[in-house]
Chain A
């Protein structure tokens, strides 16, 4: 334990600023340094958690009292082939670095998250999805090869065929099986830096889900905003945004739109207000009446249908549009509750959940819906159906009631055959995880864990919570 130097201690938090934990933070710049730390961990009783950008909403990148291996400085793009679109990169490379490297050559990452500051390692550990999940699957489905360091010290190379079991479990494996050292990813060809976007309103939850279902095949991306404060016959109302790639020749000046400068998000709102201060103005509205007013205004504004062209960065990275927006939620931060439901049961289950949230006086301040399809990874969160992500403000007063309500949500979701995503929910209990993953999957994951990490070195607070170790 003497490897744990007090001077390395830092108080880390999650993306929602709702949880803080002290850890000994190491920032390796080479795989040798990771090897050395793993070696020290094998000798002493040390737990290690991998961390990229720390953009999980829960405890996935936290390890209270243990070591956090921050991989953000292992951020070299090792190879980039603009002819084939294959990129090989270290795990600390962010999606921002990646798209800025490949876009000028006419490529775009096949799957991106709502923020571009996530790292590839983190994206792989959680097996992220985007607004094109129903078409492109998760990011793991575009990985052609990866190399990793196991806690035993062994180096492995995995492809969908070679070491296939490891490949399909390390991706989405919560960083509990090994440390990715390089990831080879196939980019998607682009003929423009723009997307054709269409936005239209939906009056209810059933209309919202129908729009996702029917719209999905016609577009490359589709996402719904859900006004979670609306009740009664308006329950689940919102706005759909759908986007499609431009075909070759559609963009009169692709050379211009494919440039990084063209994509960059504006630093000001209405041309004058610096975006970095917007979160201060959000704070007074972050209560039930305030968000009701904001959501209602947004819905009214969305009633006008529109079609427009928008840059990739502006369409995808909505979470980056207002910097530090999550600070607007106050000192206790926010949590996100995301559930994935089969298309047959989603409407009833979410109607029940949203109604419950109104009855309890605990409405979500932001709801987002997406369309999904299953994927071949071991700890998958996907279903042939939809997901609904609900953001909740954490307050000292409502904490216990919110926890109780989310427990009820869990039961509704499990009853409806739903699943959860480990980068989001912060309160999932082991029984819940066992229920939706199944004993078989958990046992398989435990066997792989034993094989890759017999001394149980890789442990995060998420892993402790969900797998009860």
Chain B
């Protein structure tokens, strides 16, 4: 079983209701910012990632700031697909329920313009897409039976075109976006909401060393946008919002031009 640090989180009562959320990929970047944002809004959270020290300090910070135990963490490597269903059961049993599930784990391992590296591509696909399936399937089944719940998948604007720089990243995010859409189509009729988030460039670890970035947003700004979309039960958002229009253009660049671009 996963390494667990669960402070004594009390359960909801009619006058002290609690919404319960899980964030997979919560140790840094958008995930950590989202954890702080949602805890601020009163959520009780289970934070999952591989890096214990980061999760530990994040939980401590959240619990200190909110003055009560609102966050706990579980050490988890998303590539351990087989462990997911039991871990999910465990978390739901520890926290007493589940209202919101956020899949935020993602990696970008560009191989280089003229290089091909299957191992890197596999790692990207595993974290960004396969592990998402490993989590989203049991979560969907859970919410389907409960006839309520919210699922959030952090995809990317990168999933809208296959670019020269990072094919497997583009493909994994395209797959995730498509899967989330299918999930939404399956689950809406059962009262379950699915939100697809497409961030543009965000100042996180992933962007370190990346070239040609612009309009870089802070993780806090993105987290605030996502939290608002969760409250409003939105289906799909671009964050920052300007990316909706940028991607409208990018999507419509004819292949004859797109093929020649180095972007």
Contact = CB atoms under 8 A, between A and B. Distances in A.
B12 interface: yes
**Residue picked from A4, A8, A333, A427, most chain B C-beta under 10 Å:** A4
Contacts of A11: 146-148
A345 B188 CA distance: 55
A399 to B, nearest CB: 5
Give the most central of B8, B92, B94, B96: most A CB within 10 Å: B96
B14 A22 contact: no
Interface stretch (B73-81, B137-145, B160-168): B137-145
Interface string A141-177: 0000000000000000000000000000000000000
Interface string A376-409: 0000000000000000001000011011001000
Most chain A CB within a 10 A radius of its CB, from B13, B92, B94, B97? B13
A9 B14 contact: no
A21 interface: yes
A19 interface: yes
B12 A65 contact: no
A64 B148 contact: no
Contact of B141 (A6, A406, A468): A6
B141 A19 contact: no
Interface string B208-246: 000000000000000000000000000000000000000
Interface string B175-201: 000000000000000000000000000
A1 B86 contact: yes
Contacts of A402: 15
B93 A394 contact: no
B86 A399 contact: no
Nearest to B144: A6
B98 interface: yes
Interface in A301-354: 332-333, 335
Interface in A89-138: none
Given A9-B146, A335-B14, A403-B15, A65 B94 contact: yes
A58 B93 CA distance: 19
Interface string A424-466: 0011000000000000000000000000000000000100110
A65 B97 contact: yes
Interface residues of B, number: 27
A19 B14 CA distance: 5
B13 A19 contact: yes
Given A10-B146, A47-B93, A427 B15 contact: yes
Given A4-B89, A65-B96, A65-B97, A10 B14 contact: no
Interface string A1-44: 11010111111000010111110000000000000000000000
A410 interface: no
Contacts of B93: 1, 4, 45-47, 64-66
A70 interface: no
Contacts of A21: 11-12, 96-97
A399 B142 CA distance: 29
A64 B94 CA distance: 9
Contacts of B92: 22, 64-65
B16 interface: yes
A400 B15 CA distance: 7
Contacts of A465: 10-11, 13
A468 to B, nearest CB: 8
Contacts of A18: 14
A22 B97 contact: yes
B122 interface: no
B90 interface: yes
A280 to B, nearest CB: 22
Nearest to A57: B14
Interface string A61-92: 00011100000000000000000000000000
Nearest to A25: B145
Contact of B145 (A1, A9, A426): A9
Nearest to A396: B17
Interface in B117-174: 138, 141-142, 145-148
Given A1-B90, A6-B141, A22-B146, A65 B15 contact: no
A291 B85 CA distance: 49
B32 interface: no
Given A9-B145, A64-B96, A65-B97, A19 B12 contact: yes
Given A20-B97, A58-B14, 6 more contacts: A8-B145, A22-B98, A22-B142, A65-B89, A406-B15, A465-B10
20 contacts: A1-B86, A1-B89, A1-B93, A2-B85, A2-B86, A6-B141, A9-B142, A9-B145, A10-B145, A16-B14, A18-B14, A22-B146, A58-B13, A65-B95, A335-B14, A399-B16, A426-B15, A461-B96, A464-B11, A465-B11
